[in-house]
Amino acid sequence: MSVVLVDAGGTNIGSVRYALQRLGAEAALTSDAEAIRTADKVILPGVGAAGPGMARLNELGLVELMRSLTQPVLGVCLGMQLLCERSEEGDTECLGVVPATVRRFVEQPNLRVPHMGWNRVRQRREHPLLDGLGDDDWAYFVHSYAVPMGDYALASTDYGDEFACVIARGNFHGMQFHPERSAKVGARLLKNFLEL
């Protein structure tokens, strides 16, 4: 099985790659369109802002390719947000494969933005990506923007308001949290993705 990590400039690429190695999967880091097109699994990692993330994909000529992929694709953290139609962060047009607008957390008393740390992940729909996820599983988050709930939401997290933390639409999937930092929960979900 060939797995590629799209080199979109994310700073979590090394840790995602290492998490995949622990599962026995070697993932090549690439911005080569043919390597991405022919891979069995494609992972779009990302840490940072939506504008620079999309600018990098545009600069590499990968936007239309990413939209056209038919194999399982996984967006991680910012990579998940880039799967959506737009982000309020810089009013950025994203890949548009998930019908959602990414929104900034509303400042509330006792809730800091960014949302940083461990939080509960609650399954909302049955899906092979969530096999083995329990009712009391936690994952590690670092983000200021979130995907609202919708029919693409497989799992949610509450931080002031409920937001989608695992999504799927067709062959496109996303995890808002960092699976590479989320201990056994993250490892299990990455393994499930590799088995899709």
* Residue 93 annotated to the active site: no
What domain range is 180 assigned to? Answer: 3-195
Judge contact between 185 and 165, C-beta under 8 A: no
DSSP conformation class of 111: B
115, 143, 173, 178: the active-site residue: 178
Q: Record the pTM.
A: 0.96
- The candidate with the shortest Cα–Cα distance to 47, out of 90, 77, 26, 14, is 77
Strand duo 98-104 + 153-159: pairing: unpaired
* Residue 173 annotated to the active site: no
Work out how many domains the chain is built from and give that number: 1
77, 84, 94, 165: the active-site residue: 77
How far the first Cα of the chain sits from its last, in Å, is 11
Q: What is the pLDDT along the chain (196 residues), one digit of tens a residue?
A: 999 999 977 666 778 889 999 999 999 999 999 999 999 999 999 878 999 999 999 999 999 999 999 999 999 999 999 999 999 999 999 999 999 999 999 988 889 999 999 999 999 999 999 999 998 899 999 999 999 999 999 999 999 999 999 999 999 999 999 999 999 999 999 999 999 9
Q: Position 97: which residue type?
A: V
* CATH code assigned at 12: 3.40.50.880
* Residue 77 annotated to the active site: yes
